[in-house]
């Protein structure tokens, strides 16, 4: 039997593809790294043009918004309703979620740009409610994002089971952007959108 006949370029490519797929399935961090490269294409930027310049989205009840609560990094209860007068960036994520891993560097860049602005609140909510694991993840990836956890039920309109899910609320507590799936939050259009909301 001639082994050389069976070792072709096509077989080698097929083997590499199988290894690539196995790595994507077995290692969420590897999949996250691949997705980070996809983010750089600009195809996954949140559609701020569809938000109509900060116009409130329908389907979000003010009473529901006011009652949503989270625990901050110190364990204190933070109510979404108490953030009026500030622009809120609310991101639901998990440490095992490759798209969440992929978008974190762009969120970090966004945080580096606006984190010191007292008019912007960052709520990075670990949906697994495992603060220690989430903070370990942040440290491992050299991220300085504040980890929040749910302190009560979150309405399906905010997070219907798909993560990552990101929402932006204006200074009136109204949801003006909802983006499901990974997104690039370090792009100039998103920065301009947030700046516009700050200056309302």
pLDDT digits (tens, 9 = 90+) for 51-97: 555 688 988 988 888 899 999 999 999 999 999 999 999 999 999 99
Please say whether the structural domain 49-198 has been given the CATH code 3.40.50.720: no
Question: Which tokens is 142 given?
Answer: 């050299």
In the chain, which residue ranges form alpha helices assigned H by DSSP? 3-6, 9-26, 28-39, 62-67, 98-114, 131-140, 188-198
Spatial neighbors of 6 by CB under 8 A, at least 6 apart, are none
Q: Where are the domains of the chain?
A: 49-198
Question: Stretch 116-132: mean pLDDT, rounded?
Answer: 96
pLDDT at 46: 73
Look-up of token digits 């992929």:
102
Cβ neighbour number for residue 49 with a 10 Å cutoff:
9
Q: 21: pLDDT confidence band, cut at 50, 70 and 90? A: low
pTM above threshold 0.95: no
Instruction: Return the DSSP state at 166.
Output: E
> How many angstroms separate the CA atoms of 144 and 135, rounded?
9
């Amino acid at each position: 039997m001639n082994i050389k006949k069976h070792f072709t370029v096509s077989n080698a490519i097929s083997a590499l593809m199988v290894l690539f797929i196995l790595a994507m399935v077995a290692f969420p961090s590897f999949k996250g790294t691949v997705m980070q490269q996809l983010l750089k294409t600009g195809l996954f930027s949140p559609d701020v043009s569809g938000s109509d310049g900060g116009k409130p989205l329908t389907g979000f009840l003010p009473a529901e918004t006011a009652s949503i609560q989270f625990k901050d990094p110190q364990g204190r209860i933070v109510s979404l309703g108490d953030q009026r007068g500030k622009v809120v960036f609310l991101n639901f994520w998990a440490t095992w979620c490759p798209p969440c891993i992929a978008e974190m560097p762009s969120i970090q860049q966004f945080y580096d740009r606006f984190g010191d602005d007292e008019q912007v609140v960052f709520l990075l909510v670990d949906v697994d409610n495992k603060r220690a694991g989430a903070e370990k993840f942040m440290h491992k990836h050299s991220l300085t994002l504040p980890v929040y956890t749910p302190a009560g039920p979150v309405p399906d309109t905010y997070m219907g089971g798909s993560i990552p899910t990101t929402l932006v609320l204006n200074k009136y507590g109204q949801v003006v952007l909802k983006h499901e799936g990974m997104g690039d939050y370090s792009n100039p259009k998103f920065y301009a959108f947030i700046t516009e909301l700050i200056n309302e």
